[in-house]
Amino acid sequence: AFINEPVMLTYTIYTRLSAAYKGFEKEPVTTGFWVEDFPPDKTIRRTEQVLNGSRYVVADIRKMALFPTQAGVFTIDTGTVGTTVEIQNEQGFNSFFSSNIFGRQSPFPQSQFFSQVVSKMIPTDKVTLVVNALPEADKPAMFNGAVGDYRIESSIDKSEVEVGTPITFKVRISGEGNINTVQTPALPKMENFKIYDSSNSVNISKNRLVVEGEKVTETVLVPRKAGHFTIPQIEFSFYDYKANTYKTLQTSPHTLSVKPGSEPEETPTGSGVESVEQEDVSLTGRDIRYIKTIEDPNARARKPFYKSPFYWGLNVLLFLASVLFMFLASNRVDTRKAGQASRSRTSHRVAKAKLKKAAHFMKKDKAAEFFNEISKAVYGYFADKLGVSSQAVNVALIEQYVSDEIAPEILNQIKALFDALSMGRFAPTQTGDEEIKRIYRMADAVITNFEKVKLK
């Protein structure tokens, strides 16, 4: 598979007895992957299959899409599936759990009952996956890690406005793939507009055993001056793994008519500093008056201040004070660096403890408390890792600290996680159980993957 190419992982149970699936007691370890769980069927579908001359009931109990975040060889570690099995007799019980499917002898003692229900924890197999880097040949310059099959379109909510009236420029990217990590192309610099920070919304569907959906980015533009302007087209590139080729799409340009309004027009300057009117300078020049100095007749008789003992004593005192200040400042810097190093070393352990607390709220269906705790875990982790305050943490800051060798998919994951946490804190009660579980796994994966990232 390629980086960010979806890989279907299916867990299947084989049984010759009456069994009931109770869920995963221990989740499989999926380090190195972005995971999207497919919703389970209301009724588990069962088929029959003959293996080694015996007939088994076969059921797929869980399906998930794995999106690799970097190249390499990865192992999906063992999980544990909880089941209950109705045992008709000793022979049926032992033959079930000592069969070649599981390769183990029954750990249960011989039963004297004709029929009983027994709980059984079944370990899953390990799965190894080789992930290849995306090809360098023909990679577009604007490519930013998107893999799948996408479409892009743009629109503006008004075509005629007055100076100072905001318009909304909307970009919609839709299709199949890990839409959460797709980055919307940025608008080019437009000197005649103020451009404000964008907002994103993501809608995902997994009903067809395919991860698909759309990402909508809205950017507010405010025209500075009157005239006819064109909002240029933007380009979006992705790798189509089915066709084994890069593709580049373009939006249509938009024409905007801006009329004079109540707001004064702004003239953008290259330096970003407002220009000063010429006549103001002239007026200031005419207001200048010369001040005639009066000589003190006793001044020549006085001893120069720089030759006085007070002057030299003051200089010695200032020198000693500066030496003391430099010593204290150096000691403070060393202490601060030691503290930052300690924060960085313990950041992963502290974050895991907070994630565990967030998981407790998740199981109790306390959405608001969950988002509060998981936000502390994520933002606190990056703050400790980078040695900054949690209020300063954002994707742009993280990019400044990481090595240029970092895979863009990891930064895309972080941005998607921050967006999900922001939406969750804003409206926790509107977030479904499956979405909360997905956000928890996303946070765990982001923190685990970032531990391997090299910092500058």
- Which of 50-54, 82-86, 309-313 is predicted with the least confidence, judged by mean pLDDT? 309-313
Question: Which pTM was predicted?
Answer: 0.60
Domain count, the chain: 3
Percent of the chain at pLDDT above 90?
31
> What number is the average pLDDT over the span 109-131?
77
- Which of 14-23, 67-76, 214-223 is predicted with the least confidence, judged by mean pLDDT? 14-23
Q: Is pLDDT at 407 greater than 80 in this prediction?
A: no
Least Cα distance to 244 among 139, 173, 130 occurs for: 139
Beta-carbon contacts of 301 under 8 Å, excluding residues fewer than 6 positions away, are none
- Which of 58-67, 78-87, 102-111, 153-162 is predicted with the least confidence, judged by mean pLDDT? 102-111
Q: Is pLDDT at 228 greater than 90 in this prediction?
A: yes
Tell which wins on pLDDT, 310 or 282: 310
Looking at 231, 259, 287, the residue that finishes a domain is: 259
Looking at 103, 131, 159, the residue that finishes a domain is: 131
User: Domain with 175 in it: what CATH number?
Assistant: 2.60.40.740
- Which of 112-126, 131-145, 261-275 is predicted with the least confidence, judged by mean pLDDT? 261-275
Specify the pLDDT at position 286: 37
Specify the pLDDT at position 302: 53
Q: Is pLDDT at 8 greater than 90 in this prediction?
A: yes
Q: Which domain holds residue 182?
A: 148-259
Q: Is residue 287 part of a domain?
A: no
Q: Is residue 331 part of a domain?
A: yes
Q: Is residue 82 part of a domain?
A: yes
- Which of 31-40, 176-185, 267-276, 334-343 is predicted with the least confidence, judged by mean pLDDT? 267-276
Let me know whether 161 and 196 are in one domain. Answer: yes
Distances (CA, A) of 34 to 26, 96, 416: 18, 35, 11
> What is the residue-averaged pLDDT of the chain?
80
**DSSP, residue by residue, 133-172:** PPP-TT--TT--S-BEEEEEEEEES-SEEETT--EEEEEE
- Residues 410-422 have pLDDT tens digits of 888 888 888 888 7
Burial 38-54 (b: 16+ CB within 10 A, else e): beeeeeeeeeeeeeeee
Start-to-end CA span in the chain (Å): 30
